[in-house]
Amino acid sequence: MMLVSFIYAVSINGVDGMDREKRKGDEPVPDNAMEMLNQMQLLALRQIESYGWRLHFIRRPLFQDTVPVVIDASGKEIGILEGDGRLNMEPDIKIRE
């Protein structure tokens, strides 16, 4: 009986809970987003906004710096704003659909 319950739980939740939502109700771009960016990131964001880019979301990993993710007007190109204000067009991140 115990084995059946375990198998059922794994099929609902996925192995290691992989199917569970990670966002926990956080907004992709919180109300205080501009407070989460440093001065160089803010300047870079203002510059790329004139080309149609916008802040898409801010990744907030535990015990690490926040990662502002930007997207172009077409929605096809993404990048991250590095701490020094550079736009990294080849970020090492995975985006969920």
pLDDT for the residue 19: 42
Number of structural domains (the chain) is 1
Would you say residue 19 lies in a domain?
no
Would you say residue 77 lies in a domain?
yes
- Give this prediction's pTM: 0.68
Q: Looking at the DSSP assignment, which residues form a beta bridge with residue 71?
A: 54, 78
The residue range of the domain holding 43 is: 26-92
Would you say residue 9 lies in a domain?
no
Would you say residue 17 lies in a domain?
no
Q: What is the dihedral of CA 52, 56, 61, 64, to 10 degrees?
A: 20
Digit-by-digit pLDDT tens for the chain (97 residues) are 444 433 333 334 444 444 444 556 667 776 777 888 999 999 999 999 999 999 998 888 889 888 999 999 999 999 999 999 999 999 887 776 6
What are the Cα distances from residue 12, in Å, to 1, 9, 17, 21, 43? 17, 5, 9, 13, 45
pLDDT for the residue 94: 75
Would you say residue 11 lies in a domain?
no
Would you say residue 85 lies in a domain?
yes
Would you say residue 62 lies in a domain?
yes
pLDDT for the residue 54: 95
